[in-house]
Amino acid sequence: MPLSTQAVKKRTAQNRYKKIVDFKNLARLSANLHKQGKKIVFTTGSFEVVTPGHCRFLAEARACGDVLVVGLCSDRSISKLKGPDYPLLNQDARSEMLTYLRSVDYVTVVDEGEPHAAIVLLAPDIFYTNTKELENGNVDEQAEFLLKRAGGKLVVCEDHNPYKSARDLIEHVADLRFTEIVASYLWSKHIAFGLDSVPNFKPADYGDQTPQDRKAFNPAEFIYKDKAVLEAFIQERARLGWTTKAKLVFVSGSYDLLHVGHARFVEKASLLGDFLLVGIPSDAKIKAMKGYGRPIISEYSRAYVLASLDFVDGVYIFDDFTVADTLATLKPNVFFTVAEEWNSGLKQSPEYKIVRKSGGRVVTAPRQSPFLSSSSMINRMAAKKVKDIFKECMDEDKIKLMQREGSKFKLHAESDVKKT
C-alpha cells in the first residue's frame, strides 16, 4: 500500500537531518550517488537570508542533474572576508534552513571562495554558479582544473533581472530600520520629521523569478493570488475527493524575512494533514497593520519563498485583515496557529467558530525558534548600519586617548616638587 501524503511528509521531516552531510563524508556520498547513476550538481553560497533569487537559482541548479549538493560558506570564512559582524546567522541555522527547500538534496559546509577540497571529494558532474560569483573569484583556475580532472564541467548562469543579492536585502532592511529609529527619536523630542515610505522604502520586489530551465521547479505554479483562483482550487480539491479522503491544513502569517523558526512552524502544520495551504496577507494589509517599512519583502516574493519549501502545497495571498473569510471559503480540516498570550482568547474568536462550524479543528503550537524572529534579524542588520554611520562617534581608540588627557598643571606641580 503506497504511503499517504501525510505519511510522506512525516517521513521527510524525520529524515531531514540526513540532508546535512559532514565534509569528511562527501567522498562516500559521491561514491553512493554515482553508483546509482546519479548526476551530481554542486554549488556554493552564504545564504544568510533565503531570497526568491536563491530559490530560483537552486531550482535551476537542481534541474541540471539528479542531486543538488550545496556547499554552505562557513562562519569562520565569512567573518574572515567580511568582518566580525558577519554572517547574520550562524552556519547551523543557515544549513537547516536550506534543508527545507524543495530543490536542495544535501548541504555541507565549505570555506567561502575555496571549493577545491569539496570538488575533489564530491567529484560533481556539474559545478553550477552565476556570473557574479565568477567575477568575485569564488571559482578560480585551480577549482576549474580540479573539476575538469574529476570529469565535471562548469555551468555559469546569467544573473536574473532584477538582480538582488542577500547583501542588497540586508542593506535595504538596515536602512529602513535605522531611519525608523531616528524618526522615533526625533518625534519623541517633538521635532517634525516626515517619513514617506512609498518612494523610499517600498517592499523589496524580486520580480517573477521564472526559471529559465523549463525542467526547474517553479514555485509560481503553487501561488494563488485571488479568491477566484482559490475557489477553483477548492473545486479541484472536491473533484479529487479531498474533502473526504485527505486532510487540508491551513496556516497563516506575514512570513516577512522567512527564517528557520518560520520553516519549523510551517512544517509542524504540514504534519497534521495531507495538503498544506499557507495564507499570507497582502502588502497593503500588512502596511495598514504594522505601519512604516512593512512588509520588507513584497507579497509575491514572500509567497515565492514559501512555495519553495518542500512541505508547502500552496500559498494564498489574501487581501483581508483576518483569515476569517478565507477559512469560511476553504473549510480546512485543520487550522494551525500560534499559541501565545495575545492569542489566548482564540476560542471566542470568529476564526475558531468558523472552523469548528465546518467540522474542522484548531491546533496551536508555540513559536519554534525562541531567540530568532524577524524583528531580531532586522535589529541585527540595523546594528551594523548604526556602527557604520556613527563610526567616528564610536571610535574607542580616540575615546581612550581623550580620557587619558590630564591637567597641564600636574606637570608644573611635579616640576616644583623636583626643584624643592
| Alpha-carbon gap, residue 370 to 85, rounded angstroms | 22
Q: Same domain for 266 and 340? A: yes
| pLDDT tens digits, 142-171 | 999 999 999 999 999 877 766 677 777 888
Higher-confidence residue of 159 and 121: namely 121
pLDDT band at 370 (very low <50, low <70, confident <90, very high): confident
First to last CA, the chain: 106
pLDDT band at 417 (very low <50, low <70, confident <90, very high): low
Task: Give me the DSSP letters along 370-406.
Answer: TT--HHHHHHHHHHHHHHHHTTTTT-HHHHHHHHH--
Q: What is the number of structural domains in the chain?
A: 2
| Alpha-carbon gap, residue 316 to 300, rounded angstroms | 10
> Last residue of some domain: 143, 164, 185?
164
Q: Which run of H or E residues covers position 237?
A: helix 227-239
| Alpha-carbon gap, residue 224 to 300, rounded angstroms | 10
- Length reported for the chain: 420
The answer to whether residue 25 is domain-embedded is yes
Q: Same domain for 113 and 260? A: no
Q: Same domain for 235 and 309? A: yes
Q: Same domain for 147 and 228? A: no
Q: How far is CA 224 from the centre of its chain?
A: 20
Does the structure show a pLDDT above 80 at 389? no
Q: Same domain for 24 and 114? A: yes
Task: Give the domain range for residue 145.
Answer: 5-164
Residues contacting 208, CB < 8 A, separation 6+:
220, 300
| Alpha-carbon gap, residue 160 to 337, rounded angstroms | 35
* Residue 101: predicted pLDDT: 98
| Alpha-carbon gap, residue 69 to 396, rounded angstroms | 44
Global pTM exceeds 0.85? yes
| Alpha-carbon gap, residue 132 to 138, rounded angstroms | 9
The answer to whether residue 176 is domain-embedded is no
Does the structure show a pLDDT above 70 at 354? yes
> Last residue of some domain: 134, 164, 194?
164
* Residue 216: predicted pLDDT: 95
Domain of 155, CATH number, reads 3.40.50.620
What's phi and psi for 280, nearest 5 deg?
-130, 140
Q: What is the mean pLDDT of residues 376-404?
A: 75
Does the structure show a pLDDT above 60 at 1? no
The answer to whether residue 393 is domain-embedded is no
Q: Same domain for 357 and 236? A: yes
Q: Residue 282 in contact with residue 317, Cβ under 8 Å?
A: yes
**Comparing 1-5, 56-60, 151-155, 376-380, which segment has the lowest mean pLDDT?**
1-5
Does the structure show a pLDDT above 70 at 2? no
The answer to whether residue 264 is domain-embedded is yes
| pLDDT tens digits, 10-24 | 999 999 999 999 999
- Give the percent of the chain with pLDDT over 70: 89
> Last residue of some domain: 365, 383, 415?
365
Q: Residue 319 in contact with residue 284, Cβ under 8 Å?
A: yes
pLDDT band at 360 (very low <50, low <70, confident <90, very high): very high
| Alpha-carbon gap, residue 169 to 177, rounded angstroms | 12
Residue 192 zone, left/alpha/beta (φ > 0; ψ -120 to 50; rest): beta
The answer to whether residue 73 is domain-embedded is yes
- Hunting for cell 498570550 — which residue is that? 341
* Residue 366: predicted pLDDT: 86
Q: What is the dihedral of CA 372, 375, 381, 383, to 10 degrees?
A: -100
The answer to whether residue 40 is domain-embedded is yes
Specify the 3-state DSSP secondary structure of 236: helix
Task: Please state whether the peptide bond connecting residue 350 to the residue before it is cis, i.e. omega within 30 degrees of 0.
Answer: no
Q: What is the mean pLDDT of residues 71-100?
A: 93
Q: Same domain for 253 and 340? A: yes
Q: Same domain for 12 and 155? A: yes
If you average pLDDT over each of 82-96, 124-138, 281-295, which comes out highest?
Answer: 82-96
| Alpha-carbon gap, residue 106 to 18, rounded angstroms | 8
* Residue 236: predicted pLDDT: 67
* Residue 198: predicted pLDDT: 47
Q: Same domain for 16 and 158? A: yes
Does the structure show a pLDDT above 90 at 82? no
Q: What is the mean pLDDT of residues 367-388?
A: 80
The answer to whether residue 239 is domain-embedded is yes
Higher-confidence residue of 59 and 368: namely 59
- Hunting for cell 544549513 — which residue is that? 95
Task: Give me the DSSP letters along 148-167.
Answer: HHTT-EEEEEPPPSS---HH
Q: How large is the C-alpha radius of gyration of the chain?
A: 26
Q: Same domain for 142 and 246? A: no
- Hunting for cell 536550506 — which residue is that? 98
The answer to whether residue 41 is domain-embedded is yes
In the sheet that holds 40-45, the strands lie side by side as: 106-110, 67-73, 40-45, 126-130, 153-157
* Residue 88: predicted pLDDT: 87
Does the structure show a pLDDT above 70 at 240? no
Q: Same domain for 134 and 235? A: no
Q: Assign 3-class secondary structure to 282-307.
A: CHHHHHHHHCCCCCCECHHHHHHHHH
Higher-confidence residue of 148 and 239: namely 148
| pLDDT tens digits, 178-209 | 887 787 778 788 887 666 544 567 888 888 89
Higher-confidence residue of 82 and 415: namely 82
| pLDDT tens digits, 25-54 | 999 999 999 999 999 999 999 999 999 999
Q: Same domain for 230 and 308? A: yes
| pLDDT tens digits, 275-304 | 899 999 999 999 888 877 788 899 999 999
Residue 241 zone, left/alpha/beta (φ > 0; ψ -120 to 50; rest): left
